[in-house]
Amino acid sequence: MRDTTDSAETGLIRELAEEAGALAVLIADAQGHTDDIATQLGRQAQSFDGLRGEAARMASGAELVAVATAAATAATAEARVRVGAARSSFHRVMSEVDSLSREADGLGGSVDGLAAALDRVRRVAEDIAAIAQMTNLLALNAQIEASRAGQAGRGFMVVAQEVKTMSEKTAVATGEIGRTLETLRSALDQITRTNAAVLTRTGRMRDEAQDLGESIEAIEGAMTEVDQQQGRIDAARRDSATSIGVVEKGVHRMAASVDSAESGIVGVRGAVGRMLDSAQRQMERFTRLGIETVDTPYIEAVQSAAARISAAFEAAVAGGRIGLGALFDTDYRPVAGSDPKQVTTHFSALTDALLPPIQEPMLTFSPQVVFCAAVDRNGYLPTHNRIFSQPQRPGDPNWNAANCRNRRIFDDRVGLAAGRGRRAFTLQAYRRDMGDGKFVLMKDVSAPIMVQGRHWGGLRLAYRVEAPPGK
């Protein structure tokens, strides 16, 4: 009867242990999802911070547009005043040009009249000169006749001499008049040419002034259009400012909601983490009762392998292959050009020699085993399984992250618990990221590695939980 009771109790404990393990796995899955949500919320919070900044910049930009529009409106108004003044000046200039043109036309008529008068004077002067010449000839003949008359013609000769003298003076005067008329004629010709040039220039000025007037009108029309456009811009700016204000308030409300959710998920994350720790402790307690569970074969296998690693390390120290201080080295030196970053220590070469013969056979322990690797107390994994120890590919960090996992520090919750656990074994459940949004539920059992009584780290054995192995 007692044996039957013990058997029933054992079976019940085994069922409870399996339930505890399943619960731990489910909680690990929930924690993974919680971590994903927390990460997404964190990213959203960052995005909303950026949106808040963008909204503020948009509002500031709207204010700058308002200032620029006001300045442009003021500048347009000032330009309109100046264009109005230019239009008034243009009309004054056009009036002056027209007046000058009329005066030039009038001067041309006056010059023509004066030229005609000069021509008449010249003809009269020519007639007088001809008469004087004839008078001079007559006086000469009279002198000749008076000389022949002797004493009787003496008085007549005096008169003839006076007539001759008068005719000679008249000839001189008419010659002077002729020269003066030529000078006046030349001056009138110059005045006529100058007046013609003035008329030509005033004509050109009138044409150019007409073009200028059309340009002023075009500028006024353009400025009117600019005023209208600025009015539309200002109206659109006011509408935009209103919309930006609405968006800004909405962004702030949404950001506040995300911040609140992020704070809430941090609390949930902590609670789920505590639940997972509790479930893992329960899972370990059932295992330590000596009742065989699905995890017992993995626990025994990792404890045996960890003991062999401890022995191999102690033999290496005793044989002088490495000093004890070098074996516990934590001066992690980056590998140049590695991405993700890899590091080395004084014991990396030793682990490359000692660990593969122990770690590699563990991969064939069960089809569920994913990896087996030793880590130090800081989660540093010097020597991984060969499948995960490929040379890095330059410029391909995603491939490197999946295939080049040696020489890496895994200081996440599971990695640090495995490296720092000093109990006979540490059993953990977690969700492993396989990339491309895929995850696998895993268990990680680790056993401490001790060297001359000092805790070096732990050996990790990770396996899937879909189907437990037979023993």
pLDDT at 272 over 50: no
Residue 300 has φ and ψ, to the nearest 5°, of -65, -40
Secondary structure in 3-state letters for the chain: CHHHHHHHHHHHHHHHHHHHHHHHHHHHHHHHHHHHHHHHHHHHHHHHHHHHHHHHHHHHHHHHHHHHHHHHHHHHHHHHHHHHHHHHHHHHHHHHHHHHHHHHHHHHHHHHHHHHHHHHHHHHHHHHHHHHHHHHHHHHHHHHHHHHHHHHHHHHHHHHHHHHHHHHHHHHHHHHHHHHHHHHHHHHHHHHHHHHHHHHHHHHHHHHHHHHHHHHHHHHHHHHHHHHHHHHHHHHHHHHHHHHHHHHHHHHHHHHHHHHHHHHHHHHHHHHHHHHHHHHHHHHHHHHCCCCCCCHHHHHHHHHHHHHHHHHHHHHHHCCCCCHHHHCCCCCEECCCCCCCCEECCCHHHHHHHCHHHHHHHHHCCCCEEEEEEEECCCEECCCCHHHECCCCCCCHHHHHHHECCCEECCCHHHHHHHHCCCCCEEEEEEEEEECCEEEEEEEEEEEEEECCEEEEEEEEEEECCCCCCC
The CATH number given to 294-471 is: 3.30.450.20
Q: What is the pLDDT of residue 465?
A: 86
pLDDT at residue 347, rounded to an integer: 98
The ranges assigned to domains in the chain are 10-286, 294-471
Instruction: Quote the pLDDT of residue 8.
Output: 52
**Class of the CATH domain delimited by 10-286:** mainly alpha
Q: Quick one: average pLDDT of 190-195?
A: 74
pLDDT at 232: 78
Q: Assess whether pLDDT exceeds 90 at residue 160.
A: no
In the prediction, which pLDDT does 5 show? Answer: 47
Looking at per-residue confidence, does 10 or 360 come out higher? 360
φ/ψ (deg, to 5) at 470: -85, 160
- In the predicted structure, residue 256 carries a pLDDT above the cut 80: no
What is the share, in percent, of the chain residues with pLDDT greater than 90?
A: 33
Give the mean model confidence (pLDDT) for residues 396-415. Answer: 96
* pLDDT the model gives residue 381: 98
Instruction: Give residue 191's pLDDT band: very low, low, confident or very high (50, 70, 90).
Output: confident
How far from chain centre, in Å, is Cα 360?
Answer: 52
What average pLDDT score do residues 166-180 get?
74
State residue 42's pLDDT score: 64
**pLDDT score recorded for residue 11:** 56
Q: pLDDT tier at 469 (50, 70, 90 boundaries)?
A: very low
pLDDT at 334 over 80: yes
Between 163 and 200, the higher pLDDT residue: 200
pLDDT at 365 exceeding the cut of 80: yes
- pLDDT tens, residue by residue, 299-323: 999 999 999 999 999 999 999 999 9
Q: Of the ranges 89-93, 232-236, 344-348, which one carries the lowest mean pLDDT score?
A: 89-93
pLDDT tens track for 90-109: 677 667 767 766 766 666 66
User: Regarding predicted confidence, which is higher, 441 or 325?
Assistant: 325
Mean pLDDT of all residues in 410-425: 96
pLDDT at 59 over 80: no
Question: Is 422's pLDDT higher than 90?
Answer: yes
Residue 89: pLDDT over 90: no
243 vs 312: which has the higher pLDDT: 312
The pLDDT-based confidence of 377 (bands split at 50, 70, 90) is very high
| pLDDT given at position 435 | 58
pLDDT value of residue 201: 74
d(Cα 180, Cα 114) in Å, to the nearest integer?
A: 14
What's residue 421's pLDDT?
95
Percentage of the chain modeled with pLDDT above 70: 62
The confidence score (pLDDT) of residue 468 equals 42
